[in-house]
Amino acid sequence: MWSCGGDESSPTAPSSSTNPVMINIVGSAGNQAFNPNPVQAASGTPLVWKNNTTDLHRIVMDNGPVIGDIAPGASSAPMQLGAGGNYHCTNHPSMVGSINGATAPTPPPGSGDGY
């Protein structure tokens, strides 16, 4: 449920007209919970996570920046994350993904939900 009016199409992009790169959340376990994974995005390209599952996910970069809580069916705000890096979900520790990595990360051992 949205708390305020539907103006999601209003342009808020800064100087460039770079379209965001979408990362779909398609599961709640493992490195195949994200698609594509790894995602390829040029430095400075905004990234948007879209939650296609029925679970709440909290996406956090491994090096600190918090993408935020993403409700089922919702999308994150566009995030510019420099050159990229790995990220994970704090609600589901086996959910791991990469921006601009060569391969998808390996879920940490003992992180529960295998797939």
Question: Is position 91 an interface residue for Cu ion (rule: CB under 5 A)?
Answer: yes
Pick 45 or 79: Cβ nearer Cu ion: 79
In the three-class reduction of DSSP (H, G, I as helix; E, B as strand; rest coil), residue 22 is classed as strand
**Binding span for Cu ion by CB under 5 A among 10-18, 39-47, 57-65, 68-76:** 57-65
Q: How many residues does the chain have?
A: 115
CA–CA distance, 15 with 99 (Å, rounded to integer): 23
**Binding span for Cu ion by CB under 5 A among 37-45, 49-57, 78-86, 103-111:** 49-57
Provide the minimum distance between the beta carbon of 95 and Cu ion in the complex, in angstroms, as a whole number. Answer: 5
CA–CA distance, 47 with 22 (Å, rounded to integer): 6
Question: Amino acid letter at 9?
Answer: S
Question: Is position 92 an interface residue for Cu ion (rule: CB under 5 A)?
Answer: yes
Question: Is position 57 an interface residue for Cu ion (rule: CB under 5 A)?
Answer: yes
Dihedrals phi, psi of 67, to nearest 5 degrees? -75, -40
Pick 30 or 38: Cβ nearer Cu ion: 30
Question: Is position 89 an interface residue for Cu ion (rule: CB under 5 A)?
Answer: yes
Pick 46 or 107: Cβ nearer Cu ion: 107
Query: With CB under 5 A, what is the number of residues at the site for Cu ion?
Result: 5
DSSP output for 65-114: -EEEEE-TT-BPPPEE-TT-EEEEESSSTT-EEEES-SSPPPPPTT-S--
Interface residue list for Cu ion (CB under 5 A) = 57, 89, 91-92, 95
